[in-house]
Amino acid sequence: MKKLKLILILIVGLSFEIQAQELDVNLQVRPRFEYRNGYKTLLPEGQKGTSQISQRSRLNFNYKQDELTVKLTFQNTRTWGDVSPTATADKNGVAVFEAWAQYNFTEKWSARMGRQVLSYDNQRIMGEMDWAQQGQSHDALTVSYHSGNNQLDLGGAYNSDAENTFQTPYTVNSYKTLQYAWYHTNLDKLGASLLLLNTGYEYKNTADKLLVDYKQTFGTYLTYKNKKFDANAWIYGQTGKSADLQVSAWNAAANLGYSFTESFKAGLGYEFLSGKDSNDGSKVIKSFNPIFGTNHGFNGYMDYFYVGNHINNVGLQDAFIKLNYNVNKWQFALIPHVFLSAADVVTPLNEKMDSYLGTEIDATFGYNFKKDITVTGGYSQMFGSKTLEFIKNGDAGHANNWAWLMISVNPRIFSWKK
């Protein structure tokens, strides 16, 4: 370790003139065990659940010199056993999660370019997706303005899958182009944000011509907090076009919380994500899509909705209660959800089904084992309905449950400043 520190100091010292500099290097090793027995979807009849251990390993370099800040993050994600013990190559290899440089032109204006996380507000529309071992980051250029309680971020991206010499289809499962503006202000105990997001997705029309359709997501996020009471609410709309189809969708939610003691807090919430009747023959997309949201943090931890699924479907209503209890190094939470469809579920025989989809109960715990080491885990169970069976297939009568245990080790391995 002493040799590594010496090498890093020499590299930094020889590469730059004598100026105010900081270098911080930290590591994350995060294995997670999961037992999946009806996770993301009802377990099909005759099938059995499964277990596995996944792991994220990250190495973060943070460097600062006067007005310049640079971050570089390498990561490897794996499932234990996905390659043999004597493998000569890794399955996923080492990827770059973040690689950006930021320059502060003044105290108020800065710009950042490169692979970076775009995360705003409660991450409902744009987030890091930290639960996913691979996370989520974008190749983008962002410009920020800070002044007192106000912040304005402008960002954009333009994607290609290679350095081409002529037009070729963009084959990556992502947007072709992106632009957004985010504004936030604090007014005493009230916080307010506005988001305007424009995403362009490439597709081929009937004449086999490459086109880009643009979808707009826009709305506001509000927060309020005093000593014991806190609340937040948001409303977003979606319009524009996607694959030559009109888009008309919306999302709204409200959450209330009250701290009875320093250890115990209770809250309740409701969210509505618009959907489309299952017998609606129109070509308009009426189902809201959270796009880049950290969706695991919403609508139940079993990820039945909007985590790679339930897109362009009947939407969702989610009513829930959240109970939190913290004592010493322990944190506990219990969150029951009641799910209903937002649009009508109609069978091929034109029979309208009950809108009730099911009830999910999530229980989680966290323990701060020691500095740089935390242990978290949880258990969830879905009590699905016949309507959920119709949407997801699978067997609602089966005991659909999910359990997980994760250890996160985050040591700082090197820090230097001059």
Question: How many CB atoms are closer than 10 A to CB 148?
Answer: 8
Q: Which residues pair with 140 in a beta bridge?
A: 114
Eight-state DSSP code of residue 14: H
Provide the whole-model pTM.
0.91
Whole-angstrom distance, CA of residue 391 vs CA of residue 357 = 9
Counting residues of the chain whose pLDDT is more than 70, the rounded percentage is 95
Q: How far apart are the first and last CA of the chain?
A: 20
2-417: which CATH topology? Answer: Porin (2.40.160)
Q: What is the DSSP letter of 351?
A: P
Number of other residues whose CB lies within 10 A of the CB of residue 107: 9
Judge whether residue 16 has pLDDT over 50. Answer: no
- Cα separation, 36 vs 289, in Å, equals 25
Output the six-digit token pair for 52: 């596995």
φ, ψ of residue 343 in degrees (nearest 5) = -125, 170
255-276 pLDDT, tens digit per residue, is 999 999 999 999 999 999 999 9
What's the longest Cα–Cα distance across the chain? 77
The yes-or-no verdict on residue 99 having pLDDT over 60 is: yes
Q: Tokens 């005991």 map to which residue?
A: 399
DSSP 8-state class, residue 353:
P
pLDDT at position 5: 52
CB 76 within 8 A of CB 63: no
pLDDT digits (tens, 9 = 90+) for 287-303: 999 999 999 999 999 99
C-alpha 164/C-alpha 103 separation (Å) is 30
Q: How far is residue 300's CA from residue 40's CA, in Å, rounded to a whole number?
A: 10
The yes-or-no verdict on residue 1 having pLDDT over 80 is no
Domain ranges of the chain: 2-417
Amino acid in position 296: H
pLDDT confidence bin for 20, thresholds 50/70/90 = confident
Quote the CA–CA distance of 24 and 14 in Å, as a whole number.
17
